[in-house]
Structure 1
Amino acid sequence: MARDPLAAVSTTATPQSRPISGRTDQVPNAAGGYVFAKDLWTRLEDFLILGTTGGTYYVGEDRLTAENADVLFQAIGEDGPRVVALLTGIATARPPRAPKQRPALFALAACYAKGDADTRQAAKSALARVARTTDHLAQFFGYYKNLGGKATGRGSAPVVGRSLRTALGSWFLTGDADDVAFKACKAAQRRTPQGEAFSLRDVLRIAHPVPDDERRRTLFGWIAGNVHDDVARDVLPAVDRFLSAKAVTSVEQAVRVVSEARVPWEFLPDAMLREPAVWDALVDTVGMTALIRNLARMTRIGTLTPMGEATARAVARLSDADAVRKARIHPMDAWLAMRVYGSGRAQPNRKADAQTWTPVPAILDALEETYELSFGAVAPSGRRLLVAVDSSGSMGQGVYSGGSLLGTAYQAGCALAVMLARIERGNVHVIDVDTAVHASRVTSRTNLRELSSWTPSGGGTDLSLPFTWAAGERFGADGIVVFTDNETWAGRSHPSQALTAYRRSVSPDARAVVVAMTAAGYTIGDPEDDGVLNVAGLDASLPMVINGFVRS
């Protein structure tokens, strides 16, 4: 019999190298397979959470950044106030949804530079909430110069209209005067993303905020250099503590101002920050984020030691659920801290000597506790979950948190799979998939420190396999969760078709969650399927979202 080419056309089993017949919403991914295009607002949300640092296995950082910037500008043109509402929600959420503020600050700067009057008004109201620190304000200002500035021949100069002046002024007027003084003392000067000097004094001169009381008038005068230190310290306790710390000349004095005046570590002279006794006092007073970031320093100089008293106090803080929540610690920051601290080596500057230390086991255990606490309390769903981690070659690409390498996309996916396994208490089965299904090493008891040595199995990608495997094994899952970069191409049917077949033969009400590990703009999840949810992989609310979606 002659071959009938029409017999190859199917809507139930289409090779992933071709689009599904009749579907106009599929696009080619970077690997040559066909997947579903995400809508504008889902792509924007992915960018705000995942960022673009490091690019993907197939797409370089510059191109991925340009593509996501285009998405942002298109969204601003379509509905700028909605963009501001979305970025503000992500930037201020508890638990934190994004590991770093940079994408949100960039988006807020773009809303000022590219938005209409309503968008700028919304951005003005959001600035003080999104740019909570001097460092955030410097990043926002630098991004705005690039997007809304005018060329000078040596870069760009900001075009500062009334709206932006008012917004910058609101940063100095939001909160108690002493709270603003505290932020100013911690970091009066920073650098923009372009590396340019950024001074609160200069911003104050640009914004010309009108003080609402005498204390704030004193603060503005002190920042500008028009009010003497003695006058400011009499009115503002933060300034008094700052000036007291700067006058410290001995370890004993440093310990006293830390213990009695609760002086933050940023106020102290650099020489005092090399003293073990000073950090012993700071263990109880330093902010949670600063505590985590300085664990290696404290271990290197001898403050944290095995069975040490300071170590016990640090462990107690790192294991305090309320403290972790209040400090907005993101799970990926906790995992990154665990990886860096556990490595025993760091070299922040290539020209500087490497720093080494011997990790204290109790601190590593506490950091793992911090990681788990940072997700918040999530009750088990009581549903059966199949979790598939894409272990193809492209998942060996690095995942970054605010410019720091977190690990590979595969390792990050496995870390999140461990968390789901712990939450669901035995109702989770985890597999690895490339062009075949492999047994996963993830269990509810997996030690997260192990993940740093795990590598993906490599090879091609067939993301229909989680569903075809579940069908073949008659695995009755209520939900199937896939951690992936969506670069599938090798299967004989599309993942959406395999999911439909699985529902038909095994579990009619099964739901699927596709967790994107990169902001590539497409997904294997069918947007027309109400039983499929697309989410971003570095979102700290992920376990809660998956839990609620599978329950519903």
Structure 2
Amino acid sequence: MAPRDPLAAVSTVATPQSQPIPGRSDQVPNAAGGYVFAKDLWTRLEDFLILGTTGGTYYVGEDKLTAENAGVLFQAIAEDGPRVVRLLTDISTARPPRAPKPRPALFALAACYARGDADTRRAAKSALAKVARTTDHLAQFFGYYKNLGGKPTSRGTAPRVGRSLRTALGSWFLRDDPDHVAFKAVKARQRKTPQGEAFDLRDVLRIAHPAADSEQRKALFGWIAGNVTDDEARDELPAVDRFLTAKAVTTVDQAVRVVTEARVPWEFLPDAMLREPAVWEVLIDTVGMTALIRNLARMTRIGALKPLGDATGRAVARLTDRDAILKARIHPMDAWLALRVYNSGQAQPNPRADRQVWQPVPAVSDALEETYELAFGAVEPSGKRLLVAVDSSGSMSWGGGVRVGGSPVGSPYEVGCAMAVMLARIEHGDVHVIDVDTDVHPSKVTPRTNLREISTWSPSGGGTDLSLPFVWARRERFHADGIVVFTDNETWAGRTHPSQALRAYRDSVNPRARVVVAAMTAAGYSIGEPDDEGVLNMAGVDASLPLVINGFVRA
């Protein structure tokens, strides 16, 4: 028998995933021990800005993941701070939203001020009012900046405030017309920073010293600072007038009257009134569709929505109004996320706050499912054939799961299956779905899969070989215009790297096949080859994902 030649095992065509591809210097070990492509600095930063780090991953704890992503952010700022500002601004202002929570972008903007050069601070100055759109956003930015660019004092930490930051803070008060700024100001003049410290717009105004450009704005600044009376401000600013009308409310009857007669926005009512079921029972008919969906948990928690209640019936009627849903541009993904948050019965948007709990009302859950169904009415298919592969390995069953707004919406596997259902529905069934671990398994997903079914499904729990979608498609001669993989990128078990298997598929079946790798976590690496223009790396769970897949495959 001839002696084995060890050089014969070296191959750039088929390399075990436990080893790097020979000649490639851009591969790194993932948390499971397999080799994948290191995402470049800017892709990792984008993942962080979209996904954040709350909850960590199956392999990496929250603290470690946060430290790693903060390091990525600081490195990017050192390399090209203005580019960081452009990226966080694009993600923060995208419609539909790309990031479930604004905190990563606000943290990054604060870091640009604290760690950036003069050009970076100039870019950040222009971006602040766009990214920190509300008083709550401004409070978060301010708190992060104190941590990153502050100075110690006898009372704790104080921000270092230079001319650039003063101008940026001032722009928050000057960006929109005075009454719109007044509306934002009266909604939430007092907030908490991420550290839990008190935050008041009056203090920010004193730091910024913006120059008023009209009598209206002069009245607004004076009123916030305490130098203009309520009556004077009312004469100039309708938002202040409505706010003071709402602020004077002391009883539930008064609150109901100002909502029904004066059409006062719900945000202006005293916090005590927003804990009253009777108030929300009338607000159900006046708030916008998006606000209605977002407040379903609150209304259930305080008892405004209850089984067989009149208010419940009216809420259900609005949630199942096809014309209203299409007019409000509710996307199926929005409706699905709202359903999962509501049915979770718990939320903790702020880690420092107490956990909120409620008992979901079955009729409301059913109505949200109908919202989901109706929302497909405005979504156009790509007209392409898709192969969707859902990673069904053990790490995709991770108990920490995917969280939205502090609520668990499911394991990565559940979320991947749900998004596969949406794609199948959007594409009118021109989609084939498979599960992959160390083998290919038939998926239960169909365009008509009931959303409740998915929560009872469990992944196979084996190892991970993400070359299999491409190996299977090549073996079956499956002509796919697009191949979509939902995964955490922790592949390790295959005899061939995914990029090698994709190349073989393109060589023998469809040279123009495009690939989308949709990551459930901000782990910093991907199976997608970074210099392959036909591969798109995505991260996060938001309404834009099906639209981006649609557009990328169509291109």
Normalising by the smaller structure, the TM-score range is: over 0.9
After superposition, the Cα gap between the structure-2 partners of 1:80 and 1:332, relative to the gap in structure 1 and judged at 3 Å, is farther
Question: For 1:320, what is the secondary structure of its paired residue?
Answer: helix
After superposition, the Cα gap between the structure-2 partners of 1:220 and 1:376, relative to the gap in structure 1 and judged at 3 Å, is farther
Q: Which amino acid aligns with 1:16?
A: Q
Matched residue pairs, number?
A: 548
Question: For 2:538, what is the secondary structure of its paired residue?
Answer: strand
Question: For 2:409, what is the secondary structure of its paired residue?
Answer: strand
CA contact (8 A) 2:170 2:205 kept: yes
Structure 1 residue 67, shift from structure 2 partner? 1.5
Partner in structure 1 of residue 365 of structure 2: 364
Partner in structure 1 of residue 340 of structure 2: 339
After superposition, the Cα gap between the structure-2 partners of 1:45 and 1:352, relative to the gap in structure 1 and judged at 3 Å, is closer
After superposition, the Cα gap between the structure-2 partners of 1:78 and 1:375, relative to the gap in structure 1 and judged at 3 Å, is farther
Structure 1 residue 314, shift from structure 2 partner? 3.1
CA contact (8 A) 1:372 1:419 kept: no
After superposition, the Cα gap between the structure-2 partners of 1:375 and 1:183, relative to the gap in structure 1 and judged at 3 Å, is farther
After superposition, the Cα gap between the structure-2 partners of 1:340 and 1:49, relative to the gap in structure 1 and judged at 3 Å, is closer
Partner in structure 2 of residue 118 of structure 1: 119
After superposition, the Cα gap between the structure-2 partners of 1:83 and 1:502, relative to the gap in structure 1 and judged at 3 Å, is same
Gaps in structure 1 of 5+ consecutive residues: none
1:273 pairs with 2:277: no
After superposition, the Cα gap between the structure-2 partners of 1:75 and 1:375, relative to the gap in structure 1 and judged at 3 Å, is farther
After superposition, the Cα gap between the structure-2 partners of 1:141 and 1:303, relative to the gap in structure 1 and judged at 3 Å, is same
CA contact (8 A) 2:196 2:352 kept: no
Question: For 2:455, what is the secondary structure of its paired residue?
Answer: helix
Partner in structure 1 of residue 463 of structure 2: 460
After superposition, the Cα gap between the structure-2 partners of 1:148 and 1:343, relative to the gap in structure 1 and judged at 3 Å, is closer
- For residues 270 and 524 of structure 2, what CA distance do their matches in structure 1 show? 47
Partner in structure 2 of residue 490 of structure 1: 493
CA contact (8 A) 2:385 2:481 kept: yes
- For residues 161 and 431 of structure 2, what CA distance do their matches in structure 1 show? 54
- For residues 290 and 385 of structure 1, what CA distance do their matches in structure 2 show? 34
Partner in structure 1 of residue 502 of structure 2: 499
Partner in structure 1 of residue 515 of structure 2: 512
Question: For 2:17, what is the secondary structure of its paired residue?
Answer: coil
After superposition, the Cα gap between the structure-2 partners of 1:496 and 1:376, relative to the gap in structure 1 and judged at 3 Å, is farther
Structure 1 residue 202, shift from structure 2 partner? 0.8
Q: Which amino acid aligns with 2:361?
A: P
Structure 1 residue 485, shift from structure 2 partner? 0.8
1:51 pairs with 2:45: no
1:166 pairs with 2:163: no
CA contact (8 A) 1:333 1:401 kept: no
Q: Which amino acid aligns with 2:296?
A: L
Question: For 2:435, what is the secondary structure of its paired residue?
Answer: strand
1:387 pairs with 2:391: no
After superposition, the Cα gap between the structure-2 partners of 1:375 and 1:109, relative to the gap in structure 1 and judged at 3 Å, is farther
CA contact (8 A) 1:306 1:360 kept: no
1:20 pairs with 2:24: no
CA contact (8 A) 2:344 2:408 kept: no
Partner in structure 1 of residue 284 of structure 2: 283
Question: For 1:62, what is the secondary structure of its paired residue?
Answer: helix
After superposition, the Cα gap between the structure-2 partners of 1:239 and 1:318, relative to the gap in structure 1 and judged at 3 Å, is farther
CA contact (8 A) 1:47 1:68 kept: yes
Q: Which amino acid aligns with 2:448?
A: R
- For residues 350 and 75 of structure 1, what CA distance do their matches in structure 2 show? 29
After superposition, the Cα gap between the structure-2 partners of 1:69 and 1:497, relative to the gap in structure 1 and judged at 3 Å, is same
Structure 1 residue 31, shift from structure 2 partner? 0.8
What pairs with 1:99-498 in structure 2 (closer than 5 Å)? 99-152=100-153, 155-299=156-300, 301-303=303-305, 306=308, 308=310, 309-315=313-319, 320-321=324-325, 324-325=328-329, 334-343=335-344, 355-361=357-363, 363-368=364-369, 377-397=378-398, 398-498=401-501
1:418-463 per-residue CA deviation (whole Å, 9 max, x = no partner) reads 1111111111011111112222222111233433333322121111
Structure 1 residue 288, shift from structure 2 partner? 4.1
Bigger drift between 476-485 and 151-160 goes to 151-160
Question: For 1:118, what is the secondary structure of its paired residue?
Answer: helix
CA contact (8 A) 2:339 2:365 kept: yes
After superposition, the Cα gap between the structure-2 partners of 1:160 and 1:319, relative to the gap in structure 1 and judged at 3 Å, is farther
1:126-157 per-residue CA deviation (whole Å, 9 max, x = no partner) reads 11111110100001111111111112366421
After superposition, the Cα gap between the structure-2 partners of 1:536 and 1:352, relative to the gap in structure 1 and judged at 3 Å, is closer
CA contact (8 A) 1:385 1:480 kept: yes
CA contact (8 A) 2:289 2:325 kept: no
Question: For 1:547, what is the secondary structure of its paired residue?
Answer: helix
1:169-197 per-residue CA deviation (whole Å, 9 max, x = no partner) reads 11111212121111111111111111111
Structure 1 residue 484, shift from structure 2 partner? 0.7
Q: Which amino acid aligns with 1:254?
A: A
After superposition, the Cα gap between the structure-2 partners of 1:322 and 1:394, relative to the gap in structure 1 and judged at 3 Å, is same
Structure 1 residue 303, shift from structure 2 partner? 4.6
Gaps in structure 2 of 5+ consecutive residues: none
Bigger drift between 58-67 and 446-455 goes to 446-455
Question: For 1:538, what is the secondary structure of its paired residue?
Answer: coil
CA contact (8 A) 1:384 1:478 kept: yes
CA contact (8 A) 1:13 1:494 kept: yes
- For residues 496 and 275 of structure 1, what CA distance do their matches in structure 2 show? 57
After superposition, the Cα gap between the structure-2 partners of 1:371 and 1:94, relative to the gap in structure 1 and judged at 3 Å, is farther
Structure 1 residue 513, shift from structure 2 partner? 1.4
Partner in structure 1 of residue 525 of structure 2: 522
Q: Which amino acid aligns with 2:291?
A: A
1:212-244 per-residue CA deviation (whole Å, 9 max, x = no partner) reads 112211211221222222222222222221221
Partner in structure 1 of residue 10 of structure 2: 9
CA contact (8 A) 1:318 1:367 kept: no
Question: For 2:529, what is the secondary structure of its paired residue?
Answer: coil
- For residues 171 and 150 of structure 1, what CA distance do their matches in structure 2 show? 24
- For residues 355 and 541 of structure 1, what CA distance do their matches in structure 2 show? 29
Bigger drift between 256-265 and 142-151 goes to 256-265
CA contact (8 A) 2:464 2:492 kept: yes
- For residues 547 and 357 of structure 2, what CA distance do their matches in structure 1 show? 38
CA contact (8 A) 2:28 2:37 kept: yes
Structure 1 residue 351, shift from structure 2 partner? 10
After superposition, the Cα gap between the structure-2 partners of 1:317 and 1:164, relative to the gap in structure 1 and judged at 3 Å, is farther
Structure 1 residue 15, shift from structure 2 partner? 0.6
- For residues 161 and 287 of structure 1, what CA distance do their matches in structure 2 show? 40
After superposition, the Cα gap between the structure-2 partners of 1:271 and 1:103, relative to the gap in structure 1 and judged at 3 Å, is closer
CA contact (8 A) 2:421 2:449 kept: yes
After superposition, the Cα gap between the structure-2 partners of 1:79 and 1:284, relative to the gap in structure 1 and judged at 3 Å, is same
- For residues 413 and 421 of structure 2, what CA distance do their matches in structure 1 show? 12
What TM-score, normalized by structure 1, do the two folds share?
0.92
- For residues 158 and 353 of structure 2, what CA distance do their matches in structure 1 show? 32
Runs of 4+ off more than 6 Å = 329-332, 345-354, 372-376
1:41 pairs with 2:42: yes
